[in-house]
Amino acid sequence: MKKHNFSAGPSILPDSVIKQAAAAVLNFDNMDLSLVEVSHRSPQFDAVIKKAQKLVLELAGLENKGYEVLFLGGGASLQFLMTAFNLLPEDGKAGYLDTGTWSTKSIKEANILGEAVVLATSKDKGYNYIPKGYAIPSDLAYVHVTSNNTIFGTQIMDFPKVNVPLVVDMSSDIFCKELDFSKFDLIYAGAQKNIGASGTTLVIVKSDILGKTGRTIPTMMNYETHIKKDSLFHTPSVFSIYVSMLYLQWVKDLGGVAEMEKINNKKADLLYAEIDRNPNFIGFAAKEDRSIMNVTFTLTDESKKDKFEKLAQEAGIHAFKGHRSVGGYRASIYNAMPIESVQALVDVMKAV
């Protein structure tokens, strides 16, 4: 049976990407060698990473605008630390918007290397909304936000306007909709939600913001190390980068980010309409901040839990339980999720 994969990450990939990835593990680029037994410095892999970098700039509309594209190890969790190492002077302050678990973790790392000023937080309501109208002090080295909160199902619609570098963790919503990406100075995103498999993290950085802290940065923590070596300072996760290249090409072939946005809006609208229509369900996130990537909701009557979950299982709905800190349900409907799977979930919701 075809599964409807609502996993929050690692998560669904396009079928064509999975098939191409599996084929390359057996024989990469007609080399009679597996993708994973070829040097990362071979011309064949060099073409892969260069193509992935080019696709990122194309999809973001950032070609020839001073941005560098990196694929690094360690996940977004390592980026919480790297952003602070590269942008925060030892006696410096940075502004952080606290919109949930991942923001909190990034604040923790900045406080190890300097001072993180919390601009605003939605902790008072269990992170079910995005704070707005907060003041931004003038003495910050940078401002950091999490664009989409996987666990709580909220998403920033309007980014803060700042005169310092704007850093965004886009792990769970990169390339889900059109944005003026040139507003951002540093974007990072673990690949395993919207642009590939786990094991690599995309970093898009405007190089002129780097090298200004006066801090001695350990080699692997320094974006400039990786920029100089084009993401090949050390052996990267070859398979993961290959999968991201395939995924980004799939987005491009589909019509790019504009088309992706149309599809994502249709999927989100379908699911939120059912949550709002069906008295058995209630959404978790404030309506104006609802994420089009992670849809969080719960039953209004817990006695229907067993029936709902049994019907879902019979329909092949996979991994739609809410995060333990929120409970209820979470449907992650990332870029690769087909609308048919969302319809399958809606059909089950109607049948409860």
| Residues of this chain that bind its own copies (CB under 8 A) | 1-3, 5, 7-13, 18-19, 21-23, 25-26, 31-34, 36-40, 42, 72-78, 80-81, 105, 108-109, 112-113, 190, 192, 197-200, 216, 218-221, 233-240, 243, 318-319
Residue 228's Cβ-side half-sphere holds a number of Cα atoms within 13 Å equal to 10
Q: 76 φ, ψ to 5°?
A: -60, -30
Q: Give the residue among 201, 259, 240 at the shortest CA–CA distance from 82.
A: 201
Residue 179 Cβ vs its own copies, minimum distance, rounded to whole Å = 24
Q: Give the residue among 157, 165, 99 at the shortest CA–CA distance from 126.
A: 99
Nearer to its own copies, 105 or 305 (CB): 105
Q: Give the residue among 216, 63, 114, 48 at the shortest CA–CA distance from 225.
A: 216
Q: Give the residue among 263, 270, 281 at the shortest CA–CA distance from 322.
A: 281
- DSSP label at residue 6: -
Question: Position 231: which residue type?
Answer: S
Nearer to its own copies, 25 or 311 (CB): 25
Residue 204 Cβ vs its own copies, minimum distance, rounded to whole Å = 19
Residue 306 Cβ vs its own copies, minimum distance, rounded to whole Å = 21
Nearer to its own copies, 44 or 278 (CB): 44
Residues tagged active-site: 102, 169, 193
Question: Position 125: which residue type?
Answer: K
Residue 160 Cβ vs its own copies, minimum distance, rounded to whole Å = 25
**DSSP string of 114-127, one letter each residue:** SEEEEEEE-GGGTT
Question: Which residues contact residue 290 at a Cβ distance below 8 angstroms, ignoring those fewer than 6 apart?
Answer: 153, 154, 155, 268, 272, 283
Name the E strands within 164-288.
Answer: 166-169, 186-190, 201-206, 281-283
Residue 316, sorted as left (phi over 0), alpha (psi -120 to 50) or beta, turns out to be left
Q: Are 1 and 317 in contact (CB under 8 A)?
A: no
Residue 309 Cβ vs its own copies, minimum distance, rounded to whole Å = 17
Nearer to its own copies, 242 or 272 (CB): 242
Nearer to its own copies, 3 or 50 (CB): 3
What does the chain come to in residues? Answer: 352
Name the E strands within 10-162.
Answer: 67-72, 93-98, 115-121, 143-146, 148-149, 154-155
Nearer to its own copies, 244 or 264 (CB): 244
Residue 247, sorted as left (phi over 0), alpha (psi -120 to 50) or beta, turns out to be alpha
Residue 236 Cβ vs its own copies, minimum distance, rounded to whole Å = 7
Residue 17 Cβ vs its own copies, minimum distance, rounded to whole Å = 9
Nearer to its own copies, 75 or 160 (CB): 75
